[in-house]
Amino acid sequence: MQISWFLQKIQFCLENCNLSQTFHFSDTGVGKSSIVWRFVEDSFDPNINPTIGASFMTKTVQYQNELHKFLIWDTAGQERFRALAPMYYRGSAAAIIVYDITKEETFSTLKNWVKELRQHGPPNIVVAIAGNKCDLNDVREVMEKDAKDYADSIHAIFVETSAKNAININELFIEISRRIPSTDTNPPSSGKGFKLRRQPSVTKRSCC
Amino acid sequence: MPLRKESTEDDLEMLSGSSSKKTRSVILAKAKNRLSLVNLSNVFTVFLSSDRKLQKKIVELAQDKDSYFGNLVRDYRVYSLETMVKQSSSTEMLQEIRLMMTQLKSYLVQSTELKSLIDPASYTEEQLEVIAETALYKCVLKPLKEAINSSLKDIHTKDGSLQQLKENQLVIQNTTTTDLGITTSVPETVVLEKILHKFAAMHKTYSPEKKIAILLKTCKLIYDSMAQGNPGKPYGADDFLPVLMYVLARSNLTEVLLNVEYMMELMDPALQLGEGSYYLTTTYGVLEHIKNYDKITVTRQLSMEVQDSIHRWERRRTLNKARASRSSDFICISFLEIGGQSRTLASRHDTTAEQLSQQCAEKFEVSHPKDYGLFVYVDDQCLQLDKDALPHHIKASLLKSETKKDFHFIYKPIDHKTPPVPIVKESDFS
């Protein structure tokens, strides 16, 4: 089986609602770091994640005959750092926007992120919407159907996840793998295997 | 591997640097750590040493006045020093330097000069490029580093960035961690000192890659201190950015700014992706944030400014890659006489004498360009260049000639009275 390696850069962003700036120690965010952490942690290769912090992580996923390497760039969601977001999503192949199903306002800010991405992001960016904390169904504020309808209307991937119970996390990334334009744009360099130092970026850049 | 190697060196530095203050157990732990690194790198010693040898040979070639590459490198350095002081934009200045490094590299990798140093079959072009890149850091960036830094400082003094950073640095130092948005521990004094020590080391080194390696180590130190008291919790960008801001506000911001720009613009464009890129982007972002800290209201204005600057960065990098494939070359031309005022000009390989004369007319601010022409003195013989002659080819041929020739390109008035000066068009001086 021919396995080709190439890079995909994944944008990972989220809006923490303003309320979250009341600085509790936990349970303030919508749990995006946990999602990536869970995704990376469940790796079959123990050496896979030598990164220095959870802001930037990598993971390789097998999709059909290809191995997809995700470079996951985390973006600070606080309003105060909002101006920096374009630095992160430019050049990204996909963006995962996470909201908290138990906090209605995080779903509203998600819509703002989508708007911004559509206006200023790369034209072909794959957008995925993840409603996190689906293990907390009894305190749910955002209906699954509403979120799904919204996602469909903007042609985004939609899942409800639970970083706590590892629900749908892998599925999310597999679906992203499926939607990202594949090796056609980047023929595998046969016989060279995985080049650590010089990988061509397959990301399509916006030129606006 | 270079990363691994560097950490060994760095640990060595730290051991010899401040060992007196360390307790024995710390030293033991360090030594143990070092030993394990040594074991790891031993495996690659053979591989490393042949690369290192080639790197050394390239550096020697660059210092060899009789080699074509050596001439290129020298002309390039002169040219950079000349143009650097005139630049008003830091990115343009650094881009110019990066562009020429890329050109030097692409010349070198294809050159017969390099092929005579190695068995071409034992390296792929990519491997050669990596080795050439590191060699160029040493023979180009090392001698230029001080000049680059002082030019950058001038530029940012003029554009007010340094002042802005300085003012906001104080504001942020006096802001509580809660108001900065920090929800984790921050580095304790000892760790903070260690981080500042790393920043100082970063400022000292001339290699953009090494600087990035050090940046990553400081980020690691920051993460470690964030996890104090709450180990195992994954901290993402929401947690990291405010702490990075806290740390940067306690550092030498001028140096950090210069280093970030140096890394962003001078690192090999082929090495864009990865962790280094992420933390460099983040550090740049936090610096912008600090610079505009006082203005942070809910304006979109700031947002557009920052967006724009990073967008330009990406565009430039793409542009740079495209431009690099068009190779150009340098030629040193004196005005009026040998040893007179001289300029090193960059132009394409296929530039004609006529085109180069036009460049000279601008550089030397000549009022009647029609009265001037391009000449070459070869061993005291003066030859005028035909308007269609190719100066770069003539230069190459002179450098390659079997008997070493002393030659100078001169831009001076065409003299019609004296016995006519021979005109040269072809470039055969062998």
What pLDDT, in 10s, does the model give residues B332-381? 888 988 877 877 777 777 889 998 999 889 888 888 998 999 999 888 88
ipTM over the 0.85 cut-off: no
Judge whether B270 is closer than 8 Å to chain A, CB to CB: yes
Among A124-138, B19-33, B232-246, which stretch is predicted with the lowest mean pLDDT? B19-33
Interface test with B, best of A9, A18, A78, A84 (most B CBs within 10 A): A84
Judge whether A205 is closer than 8 Å to chain B, CB to CB: yes
> Once rounded to an integer, what is the mean pLDDT over residues B66-89?
89
B 193-222 near A (Cβ less than 8 A): 216, 219-220
- pLDDT of residue A21 exceeding 60: no
The CA distance from A49 to the nearest CA of chain B, in Å, is: 12
Judge whether B322 is closer than 8 Å to chain A, CB to CB: no
Which residues make Cβ contacts (< 8 Å) with residue B335, sequence separation at least 6? B341, B342, B343, B360, B364, B410, B411, B412
Contact A87 B279 (CB under 8 A): no
* B259/A162: higher pLDDT: B259
Nearest to B153 by CA among B165, B142, B171: B165
**How does the average pLDDT of chain B come out, rounded?**
81
The CA distance from A156 to the nearest CA of chain B, in Å, is: 24
Nearest to A20 by CA among A6, A11, A32, A37: A32
Judge whether B337 is closer than 8 Å to chain A, CB to CB: no
CB B85 within 8 A of CB B151: yes
- Judge residue B153's burial from the number of C-beta atoms within 10 Å of its C-beta, 0-12 exposed, 13-18 middle, 19 or more buried: middle
Q: How far apart are CA B326 and CA B349, in angstroms?
A: 9
Q: How far apart are CA B89 and CA A52, in angstroms?
A: 33
Which residues make Cβ contacts (< 8 Å) with residue B430, sequence separation at least 6? B397, B400, B401, B402
A 87-126 near B (Cβ less than 8 A): 87-88, 90-91, 120
A91-105: string of b/e by CB count within 10 Å (b at 16+)?
bbbbbbbbbbbbbeb
- Judge residue B34's burial from the number of C-beta atoms within 10 Å of its C-beta, 0-12 exposed, 13-18 middle, 19 or more buried: middle
CB B139 within 8 A of CB B306: no
Give counts: helices (H), strands (E), chain A: 5, 6
Q: Which two tokens stand for residue A119?
A: 């206006």
Angle at which helices B253-266 and B189-204 cross, to 10°:
50
pLDDT band at B14 (very low <50, low <70, confident <90, very high): very low
Judge whether B311 is closer than 8 Å to chain A, CB to CB: yes
Judge whether A164 is closer than 8 Å to chain B, CB to CB: no
Nearest to B196 by CA among B239, B146, B255, B156: B255
Res B243: pLDDT: 97
Write the DSSP symbol of residue B137. Answer: I
Q: How far apart are CA B195 and CA B192, in angstroms?
A: 5
Q: Which of B220, B272, B289 sits opposite A52 (nearest CB)?
A: B220
**Backbone φ, ψ for residue B261 (5° rounding):** -65, -40
**How does the average pLDDT of chain A come out, rounded?**
68
Q: What residues of A are in contact with residue B288 (Cβ under 8 Å)? A: 83-84
Q: Which of A21, A199, A205 sits opposite B318 (nearest CB)?
A: A205
Q: How far, rounded to the nearest angstrom, does the alpha carbon of residue B411 sit from its chain's CA centroid?
A: 31
The CA distance from A141 to the nearest CA of chain B, in Å, is: 23
- pLDDT of residue B6 exceeding 70: no
Q: How far, rounded to the nearest angstrom, does the alpha carbon of residue B40 sit from its chain's CA centroid?
A: 30
Name the H helices within B205-344.
208-226, 237-248, 253-266, 275-291, 300-324
Q: Which two tokens stand for residue B419?
A: 């016995």
A 21-40 near B (Cβ less than 8 A): 21, 23, 25-26, 28-29, 32-34, 36-37
Judge whether A8 is closer than 8 Å to chain B, CB to CB: no
Q: How far apart are CA B284 and CA B112, in angstroms?
A: 40
Whole-prediction pTM:
0.72
pLDDT band at B141 (very low <50, low <70, confident <90, very high): very high
Res A16: pLDDT: 29
Contact B310 A80 (CB under 8 A): no
> Once rounded to an integer, what is the mean pLDDT over residues A124-133?
87
Res A15: pLDDT: 33
Size of interface A-B (CB pairs under 8 A): 109
Interface test with A, best of B129, B219, B282 (most A CBs within 10 A): B282
Q: How far apart are CA B171 and CA B174, in angstroms?
A: 5
R_g of chain A, CA atoms, integer Å: 17
Q: Which residue of B has its CA nearest to A13?
A: B237
Contact A87 B238 (CB under 8 A): no
Res B161: pLDDT: 92
* A57/B419: higher pLDDT: A57
Judge whether A16 is closer than 8 Å to chain B, CB to CB: yes
Q: What residues of B are in contact with residue A191 (Cβ under 8 Å)? A: none
Res A196: pLDDT: 32
Q: What residues of B are in contact with residue A36 (Cβ under 8 Å)? A: 234, 236
- pLDDT of residue B25 exceeding 80: no
Nearest to A57 by CA among A85, A36, A43: A36
How many CB atoms sit inside 10 A of residue A7's CB?
A: 20
Contact A23 B216 (CB under 8 A): no
